[in-house]
Amino acid sequence: MSTNLVLTIALPLLGAFLLPVLMRSSVAIALWSGPAILVYGCWTVAELWLSGFAQPLSIAIGGFAPPLGINLYVDSLALLFAFAVQLLGLVFWPFTLDQESARRQSLMLLLVAASTGLALSGDLFNLYVFYELAAVATFGLASASGSGAAYVATLRYLILSGIGSVLTLFGIALIYSQTGTLNLAHLAQLAPAQLNNSLGLTAFLAILIGIGVKAELFPVNTWVPEIYATASTRLSAFLAGLLSKLALLIILRLLLLIFHQPEAAQVILILGILGVISGELAAWRAKEMKRMLAFSSIGQLGMIFIAMALPDGKGMLAVLALALHHLIIKSGLFMLAEDWGGALERLRGSAKASPLGAVLFVLFSLSLVGMPPLPGFWAKFVLITELAAQVEPLYLLGLTVFLLATVVEASYLFRIAATLYSNPAPDTLSEEIPKSKGLSLATASLFGAGMIAVALLIAPVGDGLQAIAAQAQDVDLYITTVSPAVSGGSQ
């Protein structure tokens, strides 16, 4: 039932509202209601997928036909991300029993609802609302660790994000005053005539910078290392793994549907290249795992931005492949970092203490740098073949930077791997060596298993992604699916 998809947004919200109340009456119900909602969400999405989902569809909320009301646009891409959101929400569920667990869980549910909304929504302003909801929930979760550093980091993030939303709002205002509509499909119809000018471009750039804050776009990503270092690892994993991808998804949709100006792509390309350079280089010197992952994630997202900048949606497949790959790998790495945070030097000998964790780390790293049979290679392969096909020097610069960054990446990732496998310093006790264990290791193993599964099934996965990319790339399909018809003109 396709309309059930609305429930993947509504139910988490409902759960979030009721959780603090429920907690008072029955801890058990409250404890399990969140996961139950997410399981149901997963199941809803999966069921839709499995019941022969082929054509994208549009769900009008409130029964109002799209350009007037808000619609959810459901294609394979959106569905994929919706599923990922629900699943990762479950995986990163804060299973704590302390005083604030109700609050945390309800924030998590809000975050999941907002993320699902980001994946599905087909309305510009609605996207903004969900974006803000996700942001606020993130602030709450990020500051939840209760340290002074977390507060400062969150506040800085909040202010940056606030400016970003001001700019986004400004961009939306520009678009609305130029076209008089907010529906993406409708905008896609109107864009060639009305937004193909400097005004439209300005609007796009304002939105790009605004949303780029979440997508870790250079240089509005300065919050990344602070937040990832102070917030809980699970949140970091969710932010780096998923939320950034959703922000990317929005930018990608806007770029594909509405803003076809070459300048838009160029800006993204330049910022992407700078992101790669700054992120990977900064990670090279990081002395601590979480921060290294934060910087590395900036670099990886820069790579995705480079892919996104390819003209005519050519980079769609690459964006998708890189994004999903990064989602799996970074989430896994962050889960490992949960126990392996702190100075890298402390990690000496950890491989002996937790061999599985070390092996997973090596596997993730290998995939991240693109060692061939692993999925990372294919993602990178798709990107560089597309990049090399471009004639403009900027793209070739992107290619060069991309390749060099990979070298740097390999260098720092394997420095850590080597630390893990080296012998502990003579005076350390075996209890002092951090071990990767318990839930976080299990979660990381889950991602590892997923990665290996993808590596083994690379051919069907590749075909599937190609189909998804082709569908997402089809602007006409988007417009006809939503079919935003406005009977009269203005006035």
Partner 1 sequence: MMLTLLDELLLFSGATLLVALFIGRGLAAGWMVTILYGGQLLALLKMAVLGYGGGTIASSLSFEIMGQELSWRFDGLSWFFALITIGSALLSSWFSCGAWERSYIRQGGNIWLFHTAMALNVFTMLILLASGDLLSLFIGWELVSWAGFLLMVLAGGVATSAAMRYITYAMAGGMAIFGGLALIYTASGSLQLEAVTTAVEQMSGAKLWLLVILFGGGFGVKMGLMPFHLWQAPAYAETPGPGSAFLGAISSRMGLFAILLVLVKLFGIVNIESLKLPFTPIDARDLLAWIAVFTIILPTFTAMKQNDARHLLAWHGIGQGGYMLLGVVVADAMGGAGGLLHVFNHATYQAALFMAVTAVIYRTGTSDLNKLGGLVVRMPLSFVVLLIGIIGLAGLPPMNGFVSKWLVYRSLLNQGMPLLFLAAVIGTLGTILSVYKLIHNIFLGQLRVEHEHVSEAPWSMMIPMLILSAIIFVTGLLPGIPLEWVASALQTVGLPVPDHTLGGIESASGSLDMIWVIGVLFAGFGVGALVFYSAGRSKRVHQLDNYAGGHFLSADVRYQYSDNFYAGLMHLIGGWYRGSFLWLERSIRSLVEFLSLGMQGLYRRANAEFYLLTTALFVIAWVVI
Partner 2 sequence: MIPAVTPELILYTTAIGLIAIGLAGVVLSSHLFRMVLALVIAEAGANLMLVLAGYRWDAVAPILTSRAEPAAMVDPVPQALVLTAIVIGVGIQALAVSILIRIRQRFATLDRKEAAERMDAEIAATLGAPRDISQEAPLGERPLPTLPADQINMRGDSP
Partner 3 sequence: MGSLTGLLFAGGLGFMLLAVASGLDFGAPPMLIGSEIQAHAPQQTGAANIVTSVVLGYRAIDTLGELSILFASAVSAGLVLGRRHTTAGTQTKGGFILQSGGSLLFPLMMTIGFYIIFHGHLTPGGGFQGGVILAAAFFLPLLARPGARLHHKSLSLIEGFAGASFILIGLFAMLEGKAFLQPMLIQDTLGQLVSAGTLPLLYLAVGLKVGAELASLLSRLIQTEAPQ
* Binding residues for partner 1 (CB under 8 A): 156, 159-160, 163-164, 167, 198, 201-202, 205-206, 208-209, 213, 219-225, 263, 267, 271, 277-279, 281-282, 284-286, 295, 366, 369-373, 377-378, 380-382, 384-385, 387-389, 399-400, 403-404, 406-408, 410-411, 414-415, 418, 421-423, 458-459, 462-463, 466
| Residue nearer to partner 2 on the CB measure, 280 or 288 | 288
> Shortest gap between Cβ of 84 and partner 1 (angstroms)?
21
Write the binding mask 415 to 454 for partner 2: x where contact by CB under 8 A, - elsewhere: ----------------------------------------
> Shortest gap between Cβ of 169 and partner 2 (angstroms)?
4
Binding partner of 344, given partner 2, partner 3, partner 1, none, CB within 5-8 angstroms per partner class = partner 2
Q: How many helices (H) and strands (E) does the chain have?
A: 21, 2
How far is residue 422's CA from residue 417's CA, in Å, rounded to a whole number? 9
Work out whether 186 is an interface residue with partner 2 (CB under 8 A).
Answer: no
> Shortest gap between Cβ of 218 and partner 2 (angstroms)?
18
Work out whether 200 is an interface residue with partner 2 (CB under 8 A).
Answer: no
User: Among 100, 112, 96, 93, which Cα is nearest to 146's?
Assistant: 100
User: Among 266, 271, 274, 276, which Cα is nearest to 310's?
Assistant: 266
> Shortest gap between Cβ of 358 and partner 1 (angstroms)?
13
Chain positions 88 to 147 lying near partner 2, rule: CB under 8 A, are: 125, 129, 132, 135-136, 139-140, 143, 147
Work out whether 285 is an interface residue with partner 2 (CB under 8 A).
Answer: yes
Binding partner of 49, given partner 1, partner 3, partner 2, none, CB within 5-8 angstroms per partner class = none
DSSP track, 318-381 = HHHHHHHHHHHHHHHHHHHHHHH-SBGGGGTTHHHH-HHHHHHHHHHHHHHHT-TTSHHHHHHH
Q: Helices in 144-260 by DSSP H: which ranges?
A: 148-179, 184-194, 198-212, 223-230, 233-238, 244-257
Binding partner of 483, given partner 3, partner 2, partner 1, none, CB within 5-8 angstroms per partner class = none
User: Among 291, 451, 470, which Cα is nearest to 379's?
Assistant: 451
> Shortest gap between Cβ of 18 and partner 3 (angstroms)?
5
Q: Are 151 and 159 a contacting pair, CB within 8 Å?
A: no
Name the β-bridge partners of 123.
183
Binding partner of 229, given partner 3, partner 1, partner 2, none, CB within 5-8 angstroms per partner class = partner 2
Binding partner of 153, given partner 1, partner 2, partner 3, none, CB within 5-8 angstroms per partner class = partner 2
Write the binding mask 307 to 346 for partner 2: x where contact by CB under 8 A, - elsewhere: ----------------------------------xxxx-x
Q: Which letter, b or e, does each residue of 265-282 get, where b requires 16 or more Cβ atoms within 10 Å of its Cβ? A: bebbbbbbbbbbbbbbeb
> Shortest gap between Cβ of 348 and partner 1 (angstroms)?
11
By the 10 Å C-beta count (0-12 exposed, 13-18 middle, 19+ buried), 176 is classed as middle
How far is residue 448's CA from residue 332's CA, in Å, rounded to a whole number? 7
Single-letter code of the amino acid located at 3:
T
> Shortest gap between Cβ of 125 and partner 2 (angstroms)?
6
CB contact set of 359 (below 8 Å; sequence gap of 6+): none
By the 10 Å C-beta count (0-12 exposed, 13-18 middle, 19+ buried), 300 is classed as buried
Q: Which letter, b or e, does each residue of 379-390 get, where b requires 16 or more Cβ atoms within 10 Å of its Cβ? A: bbebbbebbeeb
How far is residue 203's CA from residue 170's CA, in Å, rounded to a whole number? 7
Binding partner of 17, given partner 3, partner 2, partner 1, none, CB within 5-8 angstroms per partner class = partner 3
> Shortest gap between Cβ of 75 and partner 1 (angstroms)?
21
> Shortest gap between Cβ of 2 and partner 2 (angstroms)?
27
| Residue nearer to partner 3 on the CB measure, 393 or 488 | 488
Work out whether 287 is an interface residue with partner 2 (CB under 8 A).
Answer: yes
Going 327 to 302 to 131 to 259, the CA torsion angle's sign is: negative
Binding partner of 366, given partner 3, partner 1, partner 2, none, CB within 5-8 angstroms per partner class = partner 1
| Residue nearer to partner 2 on the CB measure, 71 or 143 | 143
187 Cα distance to chain centroid: 24
| Residue nearer to partner 3 on the CB measure, 172 or 369 | 172
Q: Which residue has the tokens 């006409």?
A: 476
Footprint of partner 2 (CB under 8 A): 125, 129, 132, 135-136, 139-140, 143, 147-149, 151-156, 158-159, 162-163, 165-167, 169-170, 172-174, 176-177, 180, 182, 226, 229-230, 285, 287-288, 290-291, 341-344, 346
